[in-house]
Structure 1
Amino acid sequence: MNVLKFGGTSVANANNITQVCQIVADKSKEDKLAVVISAFSGVTDLLLSASLKAAAKDESYRELLSEIEKKHFDAIKELLPIQQQSALLSHVKRIVNHLETLLDGCFLLGERSARTSDTIIGFGELLSSCIVAETLKQSVAKSTYKDSRELIRTDDNFGKANVDFAKTNVLIKEYFASTDAHVIVLPGFIGSSENGDNTTLGRGGSDYTAAILASGLNADKLEIWTDVNGMFTANPKIVRQAQPIASISYQEAMELSHFGAKVLYPPTIQPALDKNIPIFIKNTFEPNVYGTLISANPEKSQNPIKGISHIEGISLVTLEGSGMIGVAGSSKRLFEVLSDKGINVIFITQASSEHSICIGILDSDSEKAQKAIDNAFETEISRHRIEPCIVEKGLCIVALVGENMKNHQGLSGKMFSTLGKNNVNIRAIAQGASERNISVVINERDVKKALNTLHERFFEDNTKQINLFVMGVGNVGEKFLDQIHQQKKFLRDNLKINLRVIALSNSKKMIFDEEGLSLKDWKQQLESGENADIGRFVQNVKTLNLRNSIFVDITTNQHVSDSYHQYLEDSIAVVTCNKIACSSVYENYVDLKNTSRKYGAPFLFETNVGAGLPIIDTLKNMVASGDKVNKIQAVLSGSLNFIFNNFDGNSSFHDVVKEAGIQGFTEPDPKIDLSGVDVARKILILIRESGYEMEMHDIENKSFLPKECLDTQSVPDFFVSLLTHAKHFDDLYDQAKSQDCRLKYVAQFENGKAAVGLQFIPKDHPFYNLEGKDNIVLFFTDRYSDQPLLIRGAGAGAAVTASGIFADVIRASNN
């Protein structure tokens, strides 16, 4: 004998019922079956709502009653041939008429007793089961219907009746021994008291009905048929990468069920556990999928974690005070108060000092609990020995569950560090001595991020999903997105990093997609985006609250750089090629670095100096290892190096600067490059990263531009001034040539002083043969005193800058 239970979604409509009947027909060829049926999906809620409306004298309950009737009549008309419909339609009509009488009574009395409520909400299973039973007779001749109220005896604890197993088991065995039917269809959820009153078995009652029958019949197995492929490693609606669990123990299943795995409810398991009856969780709509087997001896797994579950809508209630220390019975009084009020305690933790005890309950019980506790401890509170109880709402419990967790060290540490890195604050912690469950209480707004982060850590082969929010999609930004698109598979396969671009913004438009933007047509998507707004962009990033988030700034905008603090304080990493923040006032630079450390959010800006060259990273490693930088000499502008390498007497300075802009080597306003401000920012950043305090105004800027060029107010005016002062630039070239030197724009730091400016570089200097757009940096340190550490390579261009940003994104991802 096997017992099958079909949930509400499995019998939601005629098509689904047809599928159920096919499954039962196939199964009945091999075994005798008891088939438990839930109410049609949504009907129990309609019944509950109708009863409440009727008791509140709201006549709209009649509309709900009509909806319930129509739903069942429609199913009958689709499922049965016309000539077979009449008897069943009449039977259903009689049930509906009885239901109408009860609702009318509630309306007339203006109240709804617990006993009446149980009778009303049990009608859903009575209606659905008789329809399924009649439909099944078309494919299984030896099938029949049996009312569960005639078999399951309970007390009169209406709403959640307690089963009298001694009497129930006798009734079950007697009936099944007496029938020659091969398939028996029964309504779930309902029973009856010794007095004959209708009762219900509480949440998950249809599952419980099936387990009661399985236990009473000593069934070979119990199958719970639902709309998912078994129990999952996490809620698949929240964690898209969640995987079905093939095999799990009774205890693990109970833990997951307790902590919100809605595919099964804890009471269901106990009767089957007592008889060691295996439970299968199966999908009605994919019947050939294996599903989940719950048994005493599940298959062993290398992963000690079986699943991650959660309960939302939790309040933490804290009772604390010196009056609890060493006082016997404080905890007893607290729990008695809650028990008397019918409040279920879901979570408990107590400080070893006995100064406080913290419990987790449902939000809906929090106000009742607070009043009851404060009343119970009124004397101690008035004497200031105990504080009035503190209630924090809007929380969530997240639990790691696994039978084998006790044999693996460090799981708690991995859990806490994983949450901490994503700015998920843990409000309370509980772990039983069995180590089968580690539970934490967190803010409800963080639940999606927490579940996905933990699932990624424990179930996804350490593949880390990185969510990028990119501001600035010009030349460099476009190359950056191209590189991500090209390397996405490589990163996933080789570095276990799954990069997703969640948001893009330019100066006009911005677009967000929580599931990740397609990089094949991002330009078209961005064109149809909403109007760009830096403040709203920041708020959207925070509202999405995704794990492993990185903000990527590929602009030269000061307002964008001013937003870095907001990201870092929310544990969102910042990767930037924008030099403004790190070359701003020293206090702001230090504050950004400290904020990064405080919240564990990387703040990376390798491309601030030398585009894709590993200059800052190398410098950081030297300083971290104890080396001291004494002197820096550098050509830090690929733009200026390109310009002076191509300013060879054959073209005007104006034309060379124009060409540099066309090739993307200068800023849109080339005066930023030629004025030396950009180079000054770069050397300032290197000085600060070397451990020295310096401000921008401390750097001497020896400009080679005439004052009229510097004073221009627009880009066209600037280019006009270059033509006007052509002789000035020609003279500089001629002077350098006469000395057998080359023009290079050099940044230098030594003895606490820094300067930037144009220099004549002789042939024997390392800078002389610096070609194209290359940069070069010489670090003179305690360890590199005789021969400086030299870093050289392309220091400008969209592709190399984008690659530097990409490298920082990878560094942040590996943090």
Structure 2
Amino acid sequence: MITLKFGGTSVANAQNIKLVIEIVNEKAKGNKLAVVASALNGVTDMLINASKKAAAKDESYKIAIDEIKQKHFDTITDLVDNSNQNQLLIKINSQINQLQTLLDGCFLLGELSPRTADAIASFGELLSSQIIATALQQTIPNSAFKDSRELIKTNSNFGKASVDFELTNKLIAYYFGSNKSQVVLLPGFIASDEHQNTTTLGRGGSDYTAAIIANGTKSEALEIWTDVNGMFTANPKIVKQAQPIEFISYQEAMELSHFGAKVLYPPTIQPVFNSQIPIWIKNTFESQALGTYISSENKASNNPIKGISHIDKIALLTLEGSGMIGVAGSSKRLFSVLSQNNINVIFITQASSEHSICIGIQNQDADLAKKAIETEFELEISQNKIDPCLVEKDLCIVALVGENMKNHQGLSGKMFSTLGKNNVNIRAIAQGASERNISVVINENDVKKALNTLHERFFEDNTKQLNLFVMGVGNVGEKFIDQINQQKKFLKENLKINVRVIALSNSRKMFFDEDGMNLKDWKSIIENGENANVSEFITKAKSLNLRNSIFVDITANHDIASIYDQFLKQNIAVVTCNKIACSSKFENYKYLKSLSRKYNAPFLFETNVGAGLPIIDTLKHLIASGDKVNRINAVLSGSLNFIFNNFSDSYNFHDVVKEAGVQGFTEPDPKIDLSGVDVARKILILIRESGYEMEMEHIENNCFLPQECMETTNNEDFFKSLTKHSNHFENLLAEAKAKDSRLKFVASFDNGKASVSLQFIPKESPFYNLEGKDNIVEFYTDRYIDQPLIIKGAGAGAAVTASGIFADVIRIGNV
């Protein structure tokens, strides 16, 4: 004997029911079957809503009756042969008339009793099971229909009745012992009390019905057929990488189902657990898929965690005060008053000091619970011995579940640190003595991030997903995206980093894709996006609330640099090549650094100085190791170095500057480079990263440009002024030749003072042979006194800048 149960999606329509019949037909070869069917998909909700409308004097309940009738008639027409249709239609129509009578009664009385509610809700399973039974007889003539109400007996707790197992088991054993049918079709969800009143077993109760039948018949197995390939390591609708669980114990399955794994109704396991009947969770639409096998066997596994589950819409109630310390019976009074008000407690934690008790209940029960608790402890509250009950709503419980967790150290620490790194605040913690689950209460809006982060940590071979929000897709941005696309596979396979671009924005358009963009077509994708809006970009990034989020700024825009704090406060890391933020007022620089530490959100800007050169990273290591920077000499502008290396008698200054822009070496406004402002920003950032406090105005800028060039307001006028003052630049070149020197724009810091200026560099200087767009930095420190630490290499260009940004992203991935 095998018991099978088919859920609402499996019997949603005639097409799906045909798949069910195929499965039953195959299973019936050599086996006797008990088959439990749910209501057609959505019908139970329609019945419940119709009953509420009728009781509220809303005549639209009649529309629901017509819809329910039509849904079942259509199913009969598509599923049942013409020879059997008329008789079945008459039977179903008669029962729908009974349903209408009950609803009309609710409408006339203006009330809905629990008993009537159960009677109305029962019609979904009664109607569907009779239709399926008739269709099944066309394929398996030796099949029968049996009303579950005649076999499953309960108390009169309408809505969620308790089963009288002693009587129920006798009735089931007698019926199936004497019945000769190959297949017996039964409605799920419904039962009856001692007075023959219809009762129900709770939403999801069809699973429970099947377990009761399996237990009563001593079935070889219970098969729950649904629309997924078994129980998953997490909810696959929230965690795309969730995997089916192949083997799981009864206790683990019970824990997961209790904590929200909706594929299995929690009470289902107990009846078959007592009889040691294994459960299979199978997919009606992929019948060959392995599914999940639930039994008492404890299969060996490298991973002690079997699954991650959650319960949403939770409220946390806290009762605390000195009047609870050492006072016997406080807990009893608390839980008794909740029980008296039929409030289910889902989560409990109590400090060892007995100063407070914290409980988790459903949001909908929170107001009633608070009122009941404060009434019970009214005297203690009035005497200030106990504080008024504190209620926090819109929370969620997340649980790690695994039978072997007790044999592995550090799982709690891994869980808490993983959530902490993503700024998921834990409101309460509970762990049973069996150590089969660890539960935490978090804010409901963090649940997606929490589940994905934990799943990544415990199930995805430590592959870390990085979610990028990129603003600025010009020369550097284009190279950056190309590099990500090129290296994506390498990063995943070798560094266990999965980089996804969630958002792209330029000055005109922006586009978001929560599942990550196809970077091969990113240009066409962004052009079909919505109009760019910085405020909306921030709002969408926050609302997605994805784990390991990184805002990447590849602009030189002042307004963009001013929004970093909004990302850091949301635990969104910031990677930027934009120098404006770190060279702004020292208080702002310090503020951004403090936000980074406070919200555990990296703030990286390696490309602010030296493009892809590891200048800032090296400096950080020097300071972290206890060294002190005393002096800095540097050529920090790749664009200016390119310009002065190529400026000659045969290649005028105007044309060289133009070429530097074409090559992507200068800022969009080349005057920023040539005025020395860009270099001043860079040396200021190095000074600050060395541990010194300094403002931009404290840096002496000896500008080599004529005043008229500096006063231009657009690029066209600026380039005209370069041509007009060509003699000025030729004179600088001639003076350099006369001194047997080369022109270099140098930044210096010494003894608390800083300057930037165009200098004549003699041959003996290490700066003399600096070619192309290269940068060089000399750090004189307590350890590097006579011979400085030198970093030298390409310091400008779209590709190297992009690679520096990419390196910062990878640094975050390796944290």
Q: Tell me the TM-score normalized by structure 1.
A: 0.99
1:286 aligns with 2:272: no
Q: Distance in 2 between matches of 1:709 and 1:111?
A: 85
Query: Runs of 4+ in structure 1 displaced over 4 angstroms?
Result: none
Shift of residue 256, structure 1, vs aligned partner: 0.3
Q: Distance in 2 between matches of 1:156 and 1:627?
A: 78
Shift of residue 668, structure 1, vs aligned partner: 1.9
Q: Which structure 2 residues correspond to residues 622-633 of structure 1 after superposition, within 5 A? A: 622-633=622-633
CA-to-aligned-CA distance 1:389-442 (integer Å, 9 cap, x gap): 011111110000000001111111111111111111111111111110100111
Q: Distance in 2 between matches of 1:711 and 1:98?
A: 89
Aligned position for 2:128: 128
Q: Distance in 2 between matches of 1:697 and 1:196?
A: 90
2:492 partner letter: R
Tell me whether 48-57 or 440-449 shows the greater mean CA deviation.
48-57
CA-to-aligned-CA distance 1:38-79 (integer Å, 9 cap, x gap): 111111111111111222222211111111111111111111
Q: Distance in 2 between matches of 1:624 and 1:198?
A: 73
Aligned position for 1:711: 711
1:261 partner letter: A
CA-to-aligned-CA distance 1:345-389 (integer Å, 9 cap, x gap): 000111122111110000110111111111111111111111110
Aligned position for 2:687: 687
Q: Distance in 2 between matches of 1:723 and 1:767?
A: 28
Q: Distance in 1 between matches of 2:192 and 2:658?
A: 91
1:70 aligns with 2:70: yes
CA-to-aligned-CA distance 1:482-510 (integer Å, 9 cap, x gap): 11111111111111111111111112221
Shift of residue 743, structure 1, vs aligned partner: 0.6
Q: Which structure 2 residues correspond to residues 370-769 of structure 1 after superposition, within 5 A? A: 370-769=370-769
Shift of residue 36, structure 1, vs aligned partner: 0.6
Q: Which structure 2 residues correspond to residues 7-156 of structure 1 after superposition, within 5 A? A: 7-156=7-156
Q: Distance in 1 between matches of 2:100 and 2:337?
A: 40
Contact 1:248/1:295 (8 A) holds in 2: yes
1:542 partner letter: K
Shift of residue 332, structure 1, vs aligned partner: 0.6
Q: Distance in 2 between matches of 1:192 and 1:717?
A: 91
CA-to-aligned-CA distance 1:296-317 (integer Å, 9 cap, x gap): 0142211000000001100001
Contact 1:204/1:268 (8 A) holds in 2: no
SS at match of 2:766: coil
Contact 1:239/1:451 (8 A) holds in 2: yes
Contact 1:653/1:729 (8 A) holds in 2: yes
CA-to-aligned-CA distance 1:657-706 (integer Å, 9 cap, x gap): 11111211111221110110100111111111111111111111111111
Aligned position for 2:802: 802
2:534 partner letter: I
Shift of residue 204, structure 1, vs aligned partner: 2.1
Q: Distance in 1 between matches of 2:727 and 2:62?
A: 95
1:698 partner letter: H
SS at match of 2:399: strand
2:4 partner letter: L
1:812 aligns with 2:798: no
Shift of residue 779, structure 1, vs aligned partner: 1.1
Q: Distance in 2 between matches of 1:245 and 1:662?
A: 56
SS at match of 2:640: helix
Aligned position for 1:296: 296
CA-to-aligned-CA distance 1:500-524 (integer Å, 9 cap, x gap): 1111111222111111122122222
SS at match of 1:657: helix
CA-to-aligned-CA distance 1:428-472 (integer Å, 9 cap, x gap): 111111110100111111111111111111101111111000111
CA-to-aligned-CA distance 1:537-559 (integer Å, 9 cap, x gap): 11111111111000000111111
CA-to-aligned-CA distance 1:786-810 (integer Å, 9 cap, x gap): 2211111110100000000000010
2:418 partner letter: T
2:549 partner letter: S
Q: Distance in 2 between matches of 1:393 and 1:803?
A: 45
CA-to-aligned-CA distance 1:274-304 (integer Å, 9 cap, x gap): 0111011011111111100110014221100
Q: Distance in 2 between matches of 1:724 and 1:292?
A: 80
2:147 partner letter: D
Q: Distance in 2 between matches of 1:473 and 1:47?
A: 54
Shift of residue 222, structure 1, vs aligned partner: 0.5
SS at match of 2:462: coil
Q: Distance in 2 between matches of 1:309 and 1:600?
A: 25
Tell me whether 661-670 or 577-586 shows the greater mean CA deviation.
661-670
Q: Which structure 2 residues correspond to residues 342-353 of structure 1 after superposition, within 5 A? A: 342-353=342-353
SS at match of 2:372: helix
2:243 partner letter: Q
SS at match of 2:793: strand
Q: Distance in 2 between matches of 1:670 and 1:749?
A: 24
SS at match of 1:153: coil
Q: Tell me the TM-score normalized by structure 2.
A: 0.99
SS at match of 1:137: helix
Contact 1:633/1:777 (8 A) holds in 2: yes
Contact 1:225/1:281 (8 A) holds in 2: yes
Q: Distance in 2 between matches of 1:539 and 1:61?
A: 41
Contact 1:133/1:185 (8 A) holds in 2: yes
Q: Distance in 2 between matches of 1:598 and 1:425?
A: 13
CA-to-aligned-CA distance 1:624-657 (integer Å, 9 cap, x gap): 1111112111110000000000112112211111
Shift of residue 202, structure 1, vs aligned partner: 1.4
SS at match of 2:10: helix
Q: Distance in 2 between matches of 1:75 and 1:708?
A: 85
CA-to-aligned-CA distance 1:68-103 (integer Å, 9 cap, x gap): 111111111111221221111111112112112211
Q: Distance in 1 between matches of 2:191 and 2:660?
A: 85
Shift of residue 713, structure 1, vs aligned partner: 2.0
Specify every segment of 5 or more residues in structure 1 that has no aligned partner in the other structure, as ranges: none
Q: Distance in 2 between matches of 1:721 and 1:54?
A: 83
1:767 partner letter: F
Contact 1:223/1:282 (8 A) holds in 2: yes
Contact 1:464/1:498 (8 A) holds in 2: yes
* Identity %, equivalent residues: 72
Contact 1:583/1:696 (8 A) holds in 2: yes
CA-to-aligned-CA distance 1:721-767 (integer Å, 9 cap, x gap): 21221111111111110111111111111111111101111111111
SS at match of 2:645: helix
Q: Distance in 1 between matches of 2:463 and 2:21?
A: 42
Aligned position for 2:779: 779
Q: Distance in 1 between matches of 2:157 and 2:643?
A: 88
SS at match of 2:139: coil
2:349 partner letter: T
Q: Distance in 1 between matches of 2:317 and 2:495?
A: 44
Aligned position for 1:367: 367
Q: Distance in 2 between matches of 1:667 and 1:424?
A: 39
Q: Aligned-pair RMSD on alpha carbons?
A: 1.0
Contact 1:129/1:185 (8 A) holds in 2: yes
Q: Which structure 2 residues correspond to residues 170-185 of structure 1 after superposition, within 5 A? A: 170-185=170-185
Shift of residue 531, structure 1, vs aligned partner: 2.1
Tell me whether 709-718 or 227-236 shows the greater mean CA deviation.
709-718
Shift of residue 588, structure 1, vs aligned partner: 1.2
SS at match of 1:100: helix
SS at match of 1:361: strand
Q: Distance in 2 between matches of 1:380 and 1:760?
A: 84
Tell me whether 109-118 or 344-353 shows the greater mean CA deviation.
109-118
2:776 partner letter: I
Aligned position for 2:196: 196
